[in-house]
Structure 1
Amino acid sequence: MNRRKLLALAGAASFAPGLQAHAAAPTNATAAQDAYLYALPLIEMATTRARMLKAPGAAINKLDHTRTLADHTSRRVTTPNNDTLYSWTFLDLTWGPATLTIPPMGERYYSVAVMDMFTNNNVVLGTRTIGGEGGTFTLVGPGQVASGPNPTRIATPHAWLLLRVLTDGGEDLAAAHKAQDGFQLKGPTAAPVPTYATRDAAPDAYFASARALLASDPAPPSDLRLLRRTAPFLGAGPFDPAVAADGVEEARLITMFAKGRQTFTGGWAYPRPNLGDYGQDYLYRAIVALQGLGALPVAEAMYMKAAGDDGAGTFIGDGLYRLSLPARLPLDGFWSLSMYEATKDGQFFFTDNPLGRYTIGDRTRGLKRNADGSLDIWIGRTDPGGERSANWLPAPKAGPFAMYLRAYLPRAELLDGRFRLPPVVKA
C-alpha cells in the first residue's frame, strides 16, 4: 500500500463520522472495509465469549465470579479496571427470558450492564439507576412476551451481562464476595455455542462468521442502509476475494490509526456522549470494541485517556511525569488512574511492577496529599524516591504505555465539559 493511501486511511480514522455513511457510490473495496468494521463488535463479542467459556465451570446463563482484582496477568478483556470485582455471563435468551435477582447492596457501588451483541448497553442496573435496595428483573429477548417482574428488553437474543462490585481489596474482599454471591441468575438451558472466526481471520472466514452472527443476532432496522451497501460481504454475496482482501486491509489499518479518532483537550481525550450506546456511529463502535470492549455509558462512568508524549495517547519517555489533581473531583462515585502497557494490536493491559500497583485513586491507602488536599501523582519506570514514592504509579520497564482516568458517577460539570482534568506533565 502506498504512502498516499496510508495517509488517507489515517485521515479517515481521524475525521470520518461513520462508516462512509453518506457515500453515494462506494467501491467494492470500500464496502468490504465498512462491512469489516461494522461486524467487528460482533466478532469481538463472540471471541470474548469463547475465551471466557473456557474458564472452569463457566456456562451460558450462569453467573461466574472473579474473586480477585485484575492484575498484569488478566488478559481476557482489554483495559480492565482494578477497582471492582467482575461477575459475568453470556446470555442466551433464544428459548425464553432470564431472571436476575440483585441483593440489597447498601452503600457499596455496583453496576450490572447488559450489552447486546453489537456492544450497546441496553440497560445498566446499579447504584445510579435502582439504588442499594436491590430487586428482581426479567431479561427479555426480542419478540418475547414481557412477563415477570420488572421486564427489561434486550435487543439481541444473545448478550453479555457484566457485573461490577466495588472493593478496596484486602480485608474488604470477604464482604465483596458475599455481595457477589447475592446476585442470582436463572435462565433457560442454552444450545452449544458455535465457533466463529477472529478479527485476524482471512476475509472469507471473517465474513462467513459475520453472516452467521448476524443470522443469530439480527441487526436493527436502522442499520438497513449500510447492510444493503455491504450485502456482498454481510448478505447473500457473492464477492471478489481480491477486492475483499483490499477492503479488509484498509479496515485493519483504520483500526491501527484509531488513536487519531480521539480529540485531546488540555491533555486528555474525553469520551463521546454516545459511548456504550452508539447508534449509527459504526466506526466509533468498532474502535471501542477493539480498545475498550464492555465500556459503560458516560452517565455511569467516564474514561479519560492522557495525551502522552505524542499527543495521541502514547507515552514513551523514561523520565518522570506528574499529574496534579484537586482535592475533589466532580463525581458521586470514585476515581482511579490506571497504567497500561500498550500492545502492538492496539489493546491495553496492566503491567508488572515491583509495587503490585496498577492504579492510584481516591481510595488508595498511604497516599501523601498536599496541605490543601490536592494530590501529586508521580509516574515513571523507576521509583522517584523520597516522599514521592508513596504516590508513585509505576510504568512498564520498557516500551510504550498509556494511562486512563476513570470517574464513576460523574456530575454534570464533568459530563458537559465545564470541568477539565489537569494535564500530565514531565517533571
Structure 2
Amino acid sequence: MKTLAKFSFLLMLVITISCNSSSNDTIKFETDDQGFIILSNEEIEDIVKRSYQYVAMYNVNQKMALAESGMTTRGYNKGLKNTKLLDHTAKFISRPNNDVLYQTAMLDLRKDPIILQFPAIDSKYVSLMVTGYDHYVNIPLSTVNGDFDKPTSILFYTKRTENYNGEDIEGIDKKMELTGDFNSAVLRVMPHANEPEKYQKIIDQINNIKGVSLSEYLGKPKLPPEEVDFPAYGATDADIFENNLLEVMQFIFNHTTFDPDFKLDQAVLDRYEKLGVVPGKKFDPSTTAKIDGEKFKEVSLKVKKESFAIFSDPKQSKKLSTTLFLPKGSAGLESLLVPSIVGPIGQPAKEALYPPVLTEDGKPINAMNDYKISLSKEEMPPAKAFWSFTLYEKENGFFIPNDHKKYSVGENSGMKLNDDGGIDIYISAEKPDGVPAENWLPINRADLEMDVILRIYQPDLEKIKTWKSPTAVKI
C-alpha cells in the first residue's frame, strides 16, 4: 500500500487552463508532484538563453528609470544630465564606463511621441543610442556619421503610440519607430576632461539638451501620464529568473513589437506560448504554467558562466566583436546573449569595440596579485577617437572602490605616455615608485576576481583585423 501511495503521489498531473481570457484555446501543462511544469534541462536552458536579452534590459532600463538612488531619472519621460564621470556608486548596469559622460532619457511612448533636441556638441566623440527591452541597439546620431555638428531634433514613437501616425512634423529633423514602448536613450559624450575650457564648453552644451512630448512641441497641453504597474525588477538577472520571469516576460510581450518573419522573435514567442504567456494577455498566475524558479536561476547562472568563458576567449571574443549591439535582424542568438550577460547596452563595432584584457597564462586576474599592462607605440589601440582601460570586479561588473576614485586609464580619466609613445599601466594595491598616478589602477588586496575591459571608440576596423589586444602580466 505504501508503494502504491508513493506511486500515486508522484504521478504527473495534467492541468487544462485557459491561456488567454479572450480565447477559447486551452493549453495543457504536464506537472510534477510540486505543480511545476515538466521541462527538460535542455528546454529550460533554451528558454533562459532566449529570455536573457529581455531580462537583462528590463533590469537595466527599470533601474535607470525607477531606482531610488544612483544614476536614475526617477521615472519615465524624464532625463538625467550627468556632468561628472561615474564612480563606484554606479550600479545600474554591469561594466559602466568612466571615460564618457552619460546623458540619459527614459522614454514612455505609449501615449505621445517624445522629441529629443540636441545642440551642436564640440567633442571628438558623441553618440546617441536607443534601446528597448529587446536589446536591439539603434544609433540614430553619432559623430562617426558626421552628426552633432549642428542642432538636431529627433522624434521617437512605436506602432502603439496613440497620438501619432508617422506623419512628418515641421521642425523635426528625424523620426524613428522603435520596437518597445519603454526605452532608454543614452547619449555618450567624450568630455575632454583634461582640457578645462573645452570641458566647460561641452558641459554648457549638455545643459542645453531638451526633451518634450509631441503635444508640448505643438503648443498643446501635455497628455497626462498613463498609470502602469511594472513587475518588480531584480538586484541581478538571476533574481528575475528565480522569482517572476513569466510576469516580466508577459509585460515585455505586451509592450514590444515582434516581427512575424524574424526567427528569433517567433522562437521566443513559441517557447512562452507553451507556458501560457502570449502578447496581449494580462498576467494571471492561475492561467500560466508554474515554473521551478530555483532551477531557472541555477541554469541562468550556468549560462552566465559559459558566456563569460566565450567573452574571455580571445578567438571567440574577437569573432563576436563585429556582431554585437546591432539593430534588429542583424545578429544571432549568441551575439545577443553574451553582451546581455557581460555588459548590456553597448555599441556596434563601427562605434566602439570592447576587447577584454587577459593574463598571459589565461588565469583570472585576481586582487591577490599585482599586474602590469604594457603597450609600445606600435601596439597602441587603433582608435580614431579615443580609448580607455577600465577595471571591474568580475562577479557584478562594478568599479573597484578606492579612495583615489581611479577606475580607468585613458584620455578623460588620466594617462601619461612613455617617451616612446607607449604606455605602462599598473593594477596594484600600492602605487609602484616612479609610476604616474594617472597610469595606476588601485585595488584592495583580497581574493577577488577582476576584469579589465579596453574600449576603443571609433576603431579603425581595417587595422583591428591584425591588431592584438594586450595582456596583463602578473608582477
Q: What interval of TM-score do these two structures reach, taking the shorter chain for normalisation?
A: 0.7 to 0.9
- Could you tell me whether the CA contact under 8 Å between 1:269 and 1:306 is conserved in 2? no
Alpha-carbon distance between aligned partners in 2 of 1:139 and 1:36, rounded to the nearest angstrom: 30
Q: Structure 1's 78 and 240: CA in aligned 2 closer, same or farther, altered over 3 A?
A: closer
Structure 2 length as normaliser, TM-score?
Answer: 0.74
Alpha-carbon distance between aligned partners in 2 of 1:315 and 1:154, rounded to the nearest angstrom: 41
Alpha-carbon distance between aligned partners in 2 of 1:108 and 1:319, rounded to the nearest angstrom: 34
Q: Structure 1's 263 and 70: CA in aligned 2 closer, same or farther, altered over 3 A?
A: closer
Shift of 1:35: 2.4
Alpha-carbon distance between aligned partners in 1 of 2:213 and 2:471, rounded to the nearest angstrom: 47
- Choose the corresponding residue for 1:342, options 384, 389, 394: 394
Alpha-carbon distance between aligned partners in 1 of 2:254 and 2:308, rounded to the nearest angstrom: 32
2:277 is matched by which residue type in structure 1?
G
Highest RCO, 1 vs 2 (Cα 8 Å, sep ≥ 6): 1
Matching of residues 276-425 of structure 1 within 5 Å: 276-277=325-326, 279=329, 281-308=332-359, 311=362, 314-326=365-377, 328-343=380-395, 347-363=396-412, 365=414, 367-370=416-419, 372-387=420-435, 391-398=439-446, 399-415=448-464, 417-425=465-473
| Segment of structure 1 superposing worse, 246-255 or 288-297 | 246-255
Report what 2:283 is aligned to.
none
Report what 2:58 is aligned to.
46
- Choose the corresponding residue for 1:147, options 165, 168, 193: 168
Q: Residues 236-295 of structure 1, C-alpha deviation per residue, up to 9 Å, x if partnerless? A: 5753534x6545532332113321222633898575222112746334423322321211
Task: State the SS of the aligned residue for 2:355.
Answer: strand
Q: Report the identity percentage.
A: 20
Q: Structure 1's 376 and 284: CA in aligned 2 closer, same or farther, altered over 3 A?
A: same
Shift of 1:224: 0.8
- Could you tell me whether the CA contact under 8 Å between 1:122 and 1:153 is conserved in 2? no
Report what 1:133 is aligned to.
150
Alpha-carbon distance between aligned partners in 2 of 1:267 and 1:313, rounded to the nearest angstrom: 17
| Segment of structure 1 superposing worse, 391-400 or 287-296 | 391-400
Q: Structure 1's 107 and 239: CA in aligned 2 closer, same or farther, altered over 3 A?
A: closer
1:338 is matched by which residue type in structure 2?
T
Shift of 1:33: 2.8
- Choose the corresponding residue for 1:166, options 190, 194, 198: 190
Alpha-carbon distance between aligned partners in 1 of 2:297 and 2:415, rounded to the nearest angstrom: 49
Q: CA RMSD in A?
A: 3.0
Q: Structure 1's 379 and 248: CA in aligned 2 closer, same or farther, altered over 3 A?
A: closer
Report what 2:9 is aligned to.
none
Q: Structure 1's 218 and 267: CA in aligned 2 closer, same or farther, altered over 3 A?
A: closer
Alpha-carbon distance between aligned partners in 1 of 2:306 and 2:460, rounded to the nearest angstrom: 31
Q: Which runs of 5+ in 2 are unaligned?
A: 1-37, 215-222, 279-286
1:133 is matched by which residue type in structure 2?
K
| Segment of structure 1 superposing worse, 306-315 or 64-73 | 306-315
Report what 1:219 is aligned to.
258
Q: Structure 1's 235 and 354: CA in aligned 2 closer, same or farther, altered over 3 A?
A: closer
1:320 is matched by which residue type in structure 2?
Y
Task: State the SS of the aligned residue for 1:224.
Answer: helix
Shift of 1:27: 5.5
> Highest Rg: 1 or 2?
2
Report what 1:180 is aligned to.
206
- Could you tell me whether the CA contact under 8 Å between 2:391 and 2:453 is conserved in 1? yes
Shift of 1:312: 6.6
Alpha-carbon distance between aligned partners in 1 of 2:193 and 2:88, rounded to the nearest angstrom: 16
Structure 1 length as normaliser, TM-score?
Answer: 0.82
Report what 1:205 is aligned to.
244
- Could you tell me whether the CA contact under 8 Å between 1:96 and 1:141 is conserved in 2? no
Q: Residues 7-40 of structure 1, C-alpha deviation per residue, up to 9 Å, x if partnerless? A: xxxxxxxxxxxxxxxxxxx954433332233233
Q: Structure 1's 177 and 302: CA in aligned 2 closer, same or farther, altered over 3 A?
A: same
- Could you tell me whether the CA contact under 8 Å between 1:34 and 1:251 is conserved in 2? no
